[in-house]
Structure formats: structure tokens, C-alpha cells
Structure 1
């Protein structure tokens, strides 16, 4: 895109690796993994996280192929527009922007909850306001300041997971904690699989939310110094790290804490005071574990807010470049920052936060509406990649021309497509069993929202699915 020249390519390979890795290691691992084990048992949780991990790998390789060929900021909307249908690009872009703008508000609200662990008498809105100002300043300074901040916040999370794994293994063998648990918790009562397929499917959703953020590598591609080298390298590194951190970490938690533990039931995103990591550290005899993990969870929340601000700002800028949003959001300053888009995103994040303070029902509505948007974005990546590769071959190109090609095509995008649909439909399968229409409408609100956006653009501009031979493969 011609306007992309206004963006500064300041993100290095180490930034991209850590952004993709750090974007996926957060409260989903540190907090929600406990509830996953309590619901589906150790085997069910491991199966769900491994399945989603494989799907994410295929999505990353699909995104990597497109991002090295056409590195643009706000990639999902651009790829959907050029390789599928402009109506899909419109819906995909606004869907993803909405997701991160709402998530930004959730994160600054969560930051207040975390801080009140230490300072319970200070009003939460003060911490949220300070967090928002800090995140805004980081993103307003430069692309490099965002990358460096995310790099160091991610390192804190990665080091914590490594220390946790070491302590966990020592505890399993009885070197710490005084009692060797071995694998006894994997065979107790109904373990390793609890609740059958419905419970495993529900944990697929939890695992999916935990992995969301890995796709940020596609958003950052437009501001990478050497996307053709840094993106493939980042994808290879991130896959193995995520698999190691997530699968091994859940194995350690499940081996030490039985799935029947009432403490694991409290391990949900709404209760950040109980982390399965904290439970394991306490089991090993580390008394200050709660305070340490609370500090780590705070860095995770701030990292997520930082990434959310960056992603939503770039997506709004990209939407304006394609004519899907007001022209004023196209402008960048001398440092390559789209300030109008940054202010716009901050304003929506602030409004949503205020809704959480003064109108909880509005807040819950917005939060529910953004619930499945990450999965819809993944669905868009899989469809766009399938169409891109088919168009590439239909127009006489060979796969060997690509600087980076996704392996196992078309198995990868098709498998990712199927799993994404399965997770989206299985979001709240229990509500269908009890015919709880209110719960169904809240859980699946993202789907009609996407359909409305898609249908509006399709009817207004009479767009059609682009024939493979007419797909625009030019690198501009």
C-alpha cells in the first residue's frame, strides 16, 4: 500500500518473536488454565491446549506466508479485501478493531483489580486511569518504544514460566514440598478425562482465548525492518516455545494440583487473586508466591493492554487507508504514528471503561459482543490464505517464488478452518442443552455482529467473491 510508506519500519526480529510469544502468554495461562483442568481433567485440558496449539501453528504459517509476500499494517482486513471479497475485509477489519478496543478497556479494569491486591483502599479508577495514560504514552512515542516495552514485559513472563517449570518438576519428584506427587493426580477418580466431549469442547474455547494474540505478528509485519527474514524466524521460534510453555506448564499444574481442588475452580479471569501458578509455588514452600505472581499478572495485563492499543490503532489506520473508515485516521506524524487512530481507539477504550464503572450492563453487553471476535479473525486468516495460494497458482506462479511458504497446504488452513468453526459453535454448547436463550444470545453475539457488518457492505457496494484469476497479487 502506498500509504504504508508513512509508517516507520522499526520492529526488529527479537521484537516480533517476543510480541507473538508475549501476546499469547497472559492471564489465559497464569489464571484460566486452572479452571480448564478443573472442568475437563488433566487429560482433557492437555488435549484441548495441544489441539489449539497445532491449529495456531497452522494459522501462524498461513499468516506468515501472506505477511512475507505483502507486509502491511492491519493485515487481516487487507488480505480479506484483496484475496476474498471487499465486504469480508470491511467486516474483518472492524471486527478485529472492536475486539482490541474493548479488550483494552477490560485490561485497564483488570489492572486496577491486580493493584488492589496491594492497595485495597485506593479507588480502582485511579489505577485504571494511570494504566491508560502509560499505555497511550508508550504507543504515542514511537514504534520502537512499543516494541521495546513489549519485549521486556514478555521476558518477565517467559522467565516466570521457566522458573515455574523448574520448581514444578522439583515438586513433582518431591525435591521441593516434601511429597512426591508423581502422576497420581492423572488417575484419581474420573481423571484424566472428566465430563466427556462437551467439557473438552468447552476447554477448547478457554485454550483458544489463551492463544489469542499470536496473530499480532501479522499486524506488526508492516513495521518490521526485514519482514521476509524476521517473520519466518519468529514463527518457527514461537511455535516451539508456546508448545513447551503451555503444554508443559499445564502438565505440571495437573500433576501437582488435583482437578478436584476447590482452588482451581476459582481460577477464572474474574478472580485474579487465585492463580494455579501461585498454588504450585505455595505447594513448593515459597511463602511470597502470591505477591510475586500478582506482580507477574500485572505485567501480563499491561502487556495485553499495550498490544491491544497497538493492534487496534494499526487496524483503524489500515481501515482508513482502504476507505473503510474516515480519512482522518490515515494520517501519521513524523515518527510514523497514526495519532488520530490512536486517539480514536483510546477514546473508545475510555468510554468502555467508564461503562464498566457507571453502567455495568452496557459493559457486559460490549464484552460479550467482543467474545468470539478473535476466533472470527482466525477464521478470516485461514480463508484468506487458502484463497491467496489458489490465486497465486491460478495466475501461473510457482510456490518456489514465495520467500516463505506454509507447509502442508491445503491441510493447514482447512484444519484451522474446521477447528475455528467447531470452537465458535461450541462456545457455550451447554446453553443449547438447557435452551437458555439469554445465555445463547450473549455468548454468540459476535456472530450476528460480523454478519451485519458483512451484509451491510455487500448490499451497499454490491461486492462479489473475487475470481481467482482477478485477485490482486501486486506488492503495493
Structure 2
């Protein structure tokens, strides 16, 4: 590892610790001296923009397609309980994030909070892994768009669509952030409308509107509410539940993007808490109700679901929504669902570049990435951070390689799944460190713009289960051992440990002492003119 003093900020410049004491270098506005000389983000995103940015990053092919394999693994009740339980984990993360991001609203919040309130090395590891997770997911979204279009014409080369959509969404992310927010709102709205439409459709089918007659809870009684997965008996049913819980934790990821966008939100004291509540309950209700209804109208042993899961299909054929329509005798729905899937991955691609670039910007502002990445244009767009993040999307062309390209790409995608879990866990840890810092520096909790309930116990709950899920997310490899599968499952945790330990050995920094934690840099003050601000940060 080689450092250039002209490119990488020193720990003192970025406010990180030196022997347990935080050293700050203030600029004329009370912020970091270097970041004051770079460009500025602009606060132009409203609460509805924040909602749909998070929804756009959450509801994607992982939910539309992955819910089918979840039903196969755990059965209708096991699947439902898994999604409900992970919803409680998400709640602990979101309320913790709300408290942090309303007090210090900053782009790419996760690495910033971990650096200031827990450990600079943790901020480095979380930030870089989270950035790479979103950047590689951009490559996935570009590839998936081509595969979905092949549903209508198998002769089309997906490389064409990877190239076209790469150019389009890279350019979109150079538009003013308000325009980006409006575009993301409309793209995400189509997914929400589809889910709401399916909920109405499923209720009608369960009540007897389809060719199967009244279904009710027939599949629960015939196939059983739980399914044995990999092993038999009660243990097999628990294995199915846990396997789906891990899958659900990946499906929910993206809801935390409200925190990424907080640095560009108008009046974050009001818009961020509102957006967090709306995003959490909106996603939770849509996911849980859809999973519940799928378990009613699609049998957990459906042969079509088994075939599509075995073949790894990425278009409408693999969606349990399409299976439900086929069973009900509605043949036109697969084309509609495929069009929605295309919209979903394009919306995700849009969110991927936005979120990745803001995380990279935050890393640079905290001295954990080259300073040049903090530069913004007159519209407040971090031009180099967008370019670097977007460039990773070109890895999508690995799918065109006949010799191992797909396998290499799948390994990279495994990193993105656990990156979200480490981010969730670090957010809870940051809240714990933040509360300790408030107490040590005699700052009353009542001064916070938003106060989450049952803290810090809520954060401890989220921290424990996020660590547990991250450590066990590849547990099935220990049931059916295969060395390559082990590394594919745990390469992300290995990389995370390498980032954390490597940074700590290089900089020799200790954990942040509560009395020395930076509670004031970047804090959104309470002046009336700032409350009404919709211009520059």
C-alpha cells in the first residue's frame, strides 16, 4: 500500500484520531478546511425524493424473482416469518440512522458516522465495501437489463444494452440532483404500482376469481406451513427459515439510502425523519403482504418455480408473480411483469451510481480516499466520484466472456450482499458510540432534532443480529461442503477484515474516545434560514 501525501489526506486533516484524541482542522465555515475549498452539494431533494430513492434501491429483481426461491426453501409461513423478523432488524437500523442523519446530515453517511463515533478503520472498511457493493450492483443491473430484454428476443446481444444503459445512466447522474430525484420517483412509482396491483390481484385469486376456485389457506394445509430444506425434520425447517432470513436481509437492502441522500435533502430535520418512517413502513408492508399472499396462491412445491430456480432464470419466467398468474389462467401478465422487471433494474441502476458516488465522496471528505473525489461542479455533482463509480459498471461485460467470466462476476456480486449487512451493523454501532459521546460531552439527548425510541437497546439489537446474519449467511456450505462455495460466500467478510485490519496497521489509530468524538462538524443548525434552505449546504 503506497500513500501519496498530495493525494491522500492525513489523519489530522480529516479529524480522525491520534492516540485516542481527535484532532480537527477547521475551515472558515466551521467545516473541514480542505472540503471548504472543494465544491458543495446542494440541498434540493424533498421528502418524496428521499422516499423513492430508497424504494428504487430496495425493490428490484431480488424481490420480484427471489421471493420464489424463498417460498421453495421455507414454505409460506416460514417465508413470512423470515421477512417479518428481518423487518425488525431493518427497523433498528432505520431509527438509528434517523437519529444520526438528522443531527449530522451528510452524503454517504455510514462511513462518516463510523469514523467519528466508533473507529476510523471501521469507517474505512465499511465505506469502501459499501461503495464497491453498489458499484458492482450497477454492473449487475446493466447485465440484467439485457437478460430481461432477451425474454422478448433471444437473438439480441446483451452487450448492446449494457453499453447503451451505461451511457444513459452515467449521464443522468451528472444532471442536477433535483432532476435525478424526479426521474427516480417516476421509475420507482411503477414498481410500487405493480406491487399494489398484484396485492389486489392476489386477494381476488385467493377469494376464488381464478380458474382454481377459492384457494384460501389450502396450500398451507396441503404442503404444510414450513418446508424442510437440505436436512429433514425440525432442523430442516429451521434451516429453511434461516436461509430465507438471510435472503430477506439482502432483499431489504437499499432502504438505508435515505441516509446517503440526507446530505442533499432540504431541511433534513423534518424531511429525513418523515422519509425514514414512510420508507420503512412502505417497504415493510409491501414486502410482507406480498409474501403472505404469494404463500396463499402459489404452492411451495410448484414445479415451475423449482425449474426456474434450478436454471437461475433472470426474466419474468422466474417470478412467482408470473407463476401465480399462470395458475390463475391470466396469460398476458408475464409480459407486463417482464416490463416491470426492466423498469426495476433501470431504476436500481440509477440509484446504484448515485449512492455509490455519494459514499465515495464521504470517504474522501473523511480522509479515507483521494481528495480529488470531493470536487463538485456548479450543480453540486461530485464529478470524479460519479465517474469512478460508473466505471465499475463496465464489469458487466464479464457476462459476455465464455471462459469463466460469469463465475468471476458472481464472486463479485457476493461482496455486494454482505456489504449491506456490514453497513447496517456499523450504523447501529455508530448510534451506540454517538449516544456515548453525547453523554461524555454533556450534550442532552433532548437537543436532538429526532429521538428514536428504546435507545441504545434498539441499536444493540440490530448490531447483534446483523453480525449474526453476516457470519452465517453462507452456512449451507457447511451442510454440503464445497471449497469454492465457501470462498464465494465469505469472500466479502474476508475483504472487510482485510480493509479494517490493513487500515489499522497502517495508521495505528485507536477507537474513538467518547469525550473526543466530533459532534459538531457538519451539524445542521437550528437557525430559521437553514430550516428553510433549499440551496447549497
For residues 5-44 of structure 1, what are the structure 2 equivalents within 5 Å? 6-44=40-78
- Any conservation in 2 of the 1:7–1:337 contact (CA below 8 Å)? yes
For residues 289 and 144 of structure 1, do their structure 2 counterparts lie closer, same or farther at Cα, with a shift above 3 Å needed?
A: same
Once residues 311 and 48 of structure 1 are traced to their aligned partners in structure 2, the CA distance between those partners, rounded to angstroms, is: 27
Once residues 417 and 369 of structure 1 are traced to their aligned partners in structure 2, the CA distance between those partners, rounded to angstroms, is: 19
Of 473, 476, 497, the residue aligned with 1:427 is 473
For residues 294-443 of structure 1, what are the structure 2 equivalents within 5 Å? 294-350=338-394, 352-358=395-401, 359-443=405-489
Q: Which runs of 4+ in 1 moved over 4 A?
A: 266-270
For residues 47-66 of structure 1, what are the structure 2 equivalents within 5 Å? 47-66=81-100
Once residues 402 and 177 of structure 1 are traced to their aligned partners in structure 2, the CA distance between those partners, rounded to angstroms, is: 56
Where does residue 16 of structure 2 map in the other structure? none
SS at match of 2:417: coil
For residues 250-308 of structure 1, the C-alpha deviation after alignment (integer angstroms, 9 at most, x for no partner) is 11111001101022235557432321111223333332101000010111111111111
Where does residue 18 of structure 2 map in the other structure? none
Which 5+ residue runs of structure 2 have no aligned equivalent?
1-30, 229-235, 523-537
- Any conservation in 2 of the 1:32–1:267 contact (CA below 8 Å)? no
Where does residue 173 of structure 1 map in the other structure? 207
SS at match of 1:174: helix
SS at match of 1:122: coil
For residues 249 and 361 of structure 1, do their structure 2 counterparts lie closer, same or farther at Cα, with a shift above 3 Å needed?
A: closer
- Any conservation in 2 of the 1:136–1:309 contact (CA below 8 Å)? yes
Once residues 186 and 383 of structure 2 are traced to their aligned partners in structure 1, the CA distance between those partners, rounded to angstroms, is: 24
Once residues 164 and 275 of structure 1 are traced to their aligned partners in structure 2, the CA distance between those partners, rounded to angstroms, is: 12
Of 264, 267, 270, the residue aligned with 1:229 is 270
SS at match of 2:318: coil
- Any conservation in 2 of the 1:21–1:242 contact (CA below 8 Å)? yes
For residues 11-46 of structure 1, the C-alpha deviation after alignment (integer angstroms, 9 at most, x for no partner) is 111111122233222222211001101101111100
For residues 104-183 of structure 1, what are the structure 2 equivalents within 5 Å? 104-183=138-217
- Any conservation in 2 of the 1:67–1:221 contact (CA below 8 Å)? yes
Once residues 182 and 130 of structure 1 are traced to their aligned partners in structure 2, the CA distance between those partners, rounded to angstroms, is: 45
TM-score, structure 2 normalization = 0.85
Once residues 58 and 140 of structure 1 are traced to their aligned partners in structure 2, the CA distance between those partners, rounded to angstroms, is: 33
- Any conservation in 2 of the 1:81–1:90 contact (CA below 8 Å)? yes
- Any conservation in 1 of the 2:212–2:327 contact (CA below 8 Å)? no
SS at match of 2:173: helix
Of 500, 505, 510, the residue aligned with 1:459 is 505
For residues 44-100 of structure 1, the C-alpha deviation after alignment (integer angstroms, 9 at most, x for no partner) is 100110001111011011011100000000101100110011111111111111101
Where does residue 197 of structure 1 map in the other structure? 238
- Any conservation in 1 of the 2:255–2:280 contact (CA below 8 Å)? no
Q: What's the Cα RMSD here? A: 1.6
- Any conservation in 2 of the 1:20–1:216 contact (CA below 8 Å)? yes
For residues 163-184 of structure 1, the C-alpha deviation after alignment (integer angstroms, 9 at most, x for no partner) is 1001100110103445110111
Which 5+ residue runs of structure 1 have no aligned equivalent?
none
For residues 234 and 267 of structure 1, do their structure 2 counterparts lie closer, same or farther at Cα, with a shift above 3 Å needed?
A: farther
TM-score, structure 1 normalization = 0.96
Aligned length: 475
- Any conservation in 2 of the 1:41–1:191 contact (CA below 8 Å)? yes
For residues 369 and 237 of structure 1, do their structure 2 counterparts lie closer, same or farther at Cα, with a shift above 3 Å needed?
A: closer
Identify which range, 67-76 or 413-422, moves more after superposition.
413-422
- Any conservation in 1 of the 2:54–2:255 contact (CA below 8 Å)? yes
For residues 411-436 of structure 1, the C-alpha deviation after alignment (integer angstroms, 9 at most, x for no partner) is 21111112112211221212113343
Identify which range, 261-270 or 99-108, moves more after superposition.
261-270
Once residues 370 and 207 of structure 1 are traced to their aligned partners in structure 2, the CA distance between those partners, rounded to angstroms, is: 14
- Any conservation in 1 of the 2:72–2:227 contact (CA below 8 Å)? no
| 1:155 Cα offset (Å) | 0.7
**Residue 314 (structure 2) pairs with residue 280 (structure 1):** no
**Residue 126 (structure 2) pairs with residue 92 (structure 1):** yes
